[in-house]
Structure formats: structure tokens, C-alpha cells
Amino acid sequence: MAIETKIDLVKGDITKLQVDAVVNAANSSLMGGGGVDGAIHRAGGPSILEECRKIVAMRGGCKTGHAVITTGGNLPAEFVIHTVGPVWKGGGNGEEKSLADCYRNSLSLAADNACKSIAFPNISTGIYGFPKDKAAKVAVETVTAFIKTTDTIEKVVFVCFDQENFEILSRFLANISIR
């Protein structure tokens, strides 16, 4: 690949980031909810929900590990990529593969829509109960593997709302050469 993607880590509010696409840790209904999902819908305004309703009418929602894209509405980002992370059920039910699919499918949608920059929250580590250390490992490994396959995405930002996720991701990112 001709370019080298930069990976950043920030602690803050994903709805304020100046990137081409932000990833929403959505639920399968795409109708908004708590945590990151609720924050993105509130900050982005009604156009995001309108587009989500159209997607639901066409395809019946979004399955775990899959991703769909909408406008960014009132967000600084042009797009919101909604992905449904897995609920942690002990690790023997394909949760790590499903989480990796969230990152891969989100990055693929971003690249397909000519996004040069994308921001990810900590998918599934809140109410879905995915262990934060396992989730960080999956996120970093999946993102670093994917970005080696594309010239489109120039910057990936991991956005942590809490200090614990920030520290865990910092440790995993310290061990990679793409920074």
C-alpha cells in the first residue's frame, strides 16, 4: 500500500470528532438507545433516525457483526456507520469473531464510501459486557490487519469515554508499529 494509516487514541466525546465517519455501537433495531448510540442519535439529530427507519423497513434492522451507513446529520462527521456488537455470553459463542466482524465491516463501509478517517468507540464493552481487555485486543488486531489492505483509510481513531478503556487500548497500541 502506498500510504501508511495513522492510528490515534483519544479520550473524549466521539460526537465531536472531525472525521469522515464515526462508528455507532448500535442495537439491532437501529432506533437509538443508551451509551454511545444515544449520544450519536441526540447529537446527530433526526435525519439519522429517519435513515435508520428506512434501513429497517428495507432489511429489518442490522444483525450482530454487520454494519450499515447513514448521514452524519448534525455531527461534524459526514457519515455514521452503525454496527451491532455482540453481547458477551462467556466467550464460547463466537463473540470475538462477531466483534472482529463489526470492525471489519465498518472499515469496509468506510472505504467503500471514500472515507479517509474513521473513529471507533469501544464496541460491546458497556452494557453488552464484553471484557474490555479482550475487546481491545480484537479491535487493535482487526483494525491493523484491515488497514494493511487499503489505501483509502488514512486515519483511524479509537475514542474512549472512560479512563479504563483508554489505558487498556494504550497498552495494546504501544505494541504495534503503525502509529
Q: Which residue has the cell 462527521?
A: 77
**SS3 state of residue 40:** helix
> What is the Cα–Cα distance from 48 to 66, expressed in whole angstroms?
18
Residues 13, 20, 37, 151: which is the catalytic one? 37
Cell of 87: 453481547
| Residue 179, all three cell numbers | 502509529
Q: What is the rounded distance in angstroms from the CA atom of residue 32 to the CA atom of residue 171?
A: 31
Residue 146 grid cell: 484491515
**Grid cell for residue 129:** 459486557
37 is catalytic: yes
What is the set of active-site residues?
37
